[in-house]
Amino acid sequence: MKRLRILLNTATLLSLLLFIATSVLWIRSYQTRDNWGHDPTRQTVWTLTNGELIAVRIWLPPDSPSAGTRTSRIAPFPERLHGWDLPGLSSKERWLWLDPSRPNGIEFRIQRTITLQLWLITAITSVLPLIWLVRAVRTRSRTRPGCCKHCGYDLRATPARCPECGKQQT
Ligand SMILES: [Zn+2]
């Protein structure tokens, strides 16, 4: 039971730190736009903007004859899109056909975009600290002088033992 409490307290503290960090990022994302992974050898680019963390990855299908070569132009059509949406999290995958005038003919790239709404992370990480806060406030209101430490019952008439929950008062 004691180990469980230590575990819970550690989880609450970690959750609180994550909550603060994500809140800072969340506010920052509306003021500026952060990008990582702009190295041309890397194909995944991360962007933090307008409350969203977006990961974009572009690659050639492994069986493509031009896999590994860099292609410069992407034809606007045809394009196919599919994906899914959850509250706070969405994924889009699109096939982008390359310029058919290229000598190796029509080929395509796949682009996957994963968008994570930062409010989802702030909401998830706020759960444990909020529970802790509610419990702390309740404990505080229970430990008012003259009240039972366990249930908060008024003990002015029976200071030694709580008539409500039966706990001895120390
Ligand atoms: Zn009591």
Tell how far the Cα of 141 is from the centroid of ligand 1, in angstroms.
13
Percent of the chain having pLDDT more than 90? Answer: 37
At residue 72, the pLDDT reads: 46
Q: What average pLDDT does this structure show over 20-44?
A: 83
Per residue in 39-52, pLDDT (tens digit) is 665 678 889 999 99
Of 74 and 112, the one with more pLDDT: 112
Tell how far the Cα of 146 is from the centroid of ligand 1, in angstroms.
11
The DSSP element (H or E) to which 27 belongs, if any, is: helix 2-31
Q: What share of the chain is helix, strand, coil (3-state, %, to 5)?
A: 30, 30, 35
Q: Which of 65, 59, 22, 28 is nearest to 43 (CA)?
A: 59
3-state secondary structure of 123: helix
CA pair distance 83, 90, nearest whole angstrom: 7
Tell how far the Cα of 161 is from the centroid of ligand 1, in angstroms.
8
- Extents of the domains making up the chain: 33-118
